Every structure is written in C-alpha cells, then in structure tokens.
C-alpha cells in the first residue's frame, strides 16, 4: 500500500518530460491544446513549470525513501514524512488551483489532485 504514495511522483515525472523535454512535439501540442504557432512563445514557461513538477516529484520520492528507512539515519523517517507531506500537499493544492482557475481543464486537475490526495490519506493512515 505504501508504494501507491509514489504514483503522484511518477505522474509528475511524466509531466516534467512533457513540459520540459517534449514541448512542441505534435502529440504534446495536442495534449495541451497548443497551436504550433504558440509553442515558441510558451517554451520557456513550460520548461520552468516542468522543473517545478520535477522538484515536487523528487520531494515525494526522497521523502518516501527516507520514510521507509533508505538510507538509515536517526531522523530519516520523520524528515521523510515532512518531505512527502510537503510534496503531496503542494501537488494537491496545485490540482485544486487548476480546477478552480480553469474548470475546463478538470481532467488535468484531477490527474494531479486525486492521486496526491489519496497518497496523503495513505500517509496519514499509515
């Protein structure tokens, strides 16, 4: 069950790849509803946003590793819990923000919100 906590991190690693490494490819353009003429104007913003997603994913992954005891040091589980809750909470708030600000992007919002919210429930029940 604790492995499910990593799903939001994997989703955000995928989003990082889309926004920072694959921006402008036809499939990515379609996924984000971009016209080819808008790609260059949004490339820097997308790259920056992708890096945010990478950092959130890394917070969850590193937090999970510490929480599970890898590597093992005195305050690892507590530090890991703090990192996981920070990362998952940030992803949850980002999903809520997207849903509130752009209701037409509800699928994207729920893709962030639901796994992160479920992972937070798992963390707090563990």
Task: Domain count for the chain, please give it.
Answer: 1
**Is pLDDT of 74 > 80?**
no
Whole-number Cα distances in Å, 80 to 12, 28, 30, 86? 18, 33, 37, 10
Q: For the segment 89-109, what is each residue's pLDDT rounded down to a tens digit?
A: 999 999 999 999 999 999 999
The answer to whether 78 touches 61, Cβ cutoff 8 Å, is: no
> Do the Cβ atoms of 96 and 113 come closer than 8 Å?
yes
Burial of 69 (0-12, 13-18, 19+ CB in 10 A): exposed
70 touches 62 (CB < 8 A): no
- Report whether pLDDT(111) > 80: yes
**In terms of residue numbers, what domain contains 94?**
2-125
Model confidence over 47-72: pLDDT tens digits?
999 999 999 999 999 999 999 988 77
Answer yes or no: is pLDDT of 120 > 80: yes
> Percent of the chain at pLDDT above 70?
99
Three-class SS string for the chain? CHHHHHHHHHHHHHHHHHHHHCCCCHHHHHHHCCCHHHHHHHHHHHHHHHHHHHHHHHHHHHHHHHHHCCCCCCCHHHHHHHHHHHHHHHHHHHHHHHHHHCHHHHHHHHHHHHHHHHHHHHHHHC
pTM of whole model > 0.75?
yes
How confident is the model at residue 76, as a pLDDT? 76
Q: What is the reported pLDDT for 87?
A: 97
């Amino acid at each position: 069950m604790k492995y499910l906590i990593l799903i939001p991190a994997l989703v955000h690693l995928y989003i990082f790849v889309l926004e920072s490494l694959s921006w402008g490819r036809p499939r990515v353009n379609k996924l984000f509803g971009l016209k080819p003429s808008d790609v260059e104007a949004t490339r820097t913003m997308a790259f920056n946003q992708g890096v945010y997603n990478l950092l959130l994913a890394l917070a969850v992954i590193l937090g999970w590793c510490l929480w599970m005891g890898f590597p093992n040091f005195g305050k690892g589980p507590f530090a890991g819990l703090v990192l996981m809750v920070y990362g998952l909470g940030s992803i949850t708030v980002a999903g809520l923000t997207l849903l509130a600000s752009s209701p037409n992007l509800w699928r994207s919002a729920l893709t962030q919100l639901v796994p992160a919210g479920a992972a937070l429930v798992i963390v707090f029940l563990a």
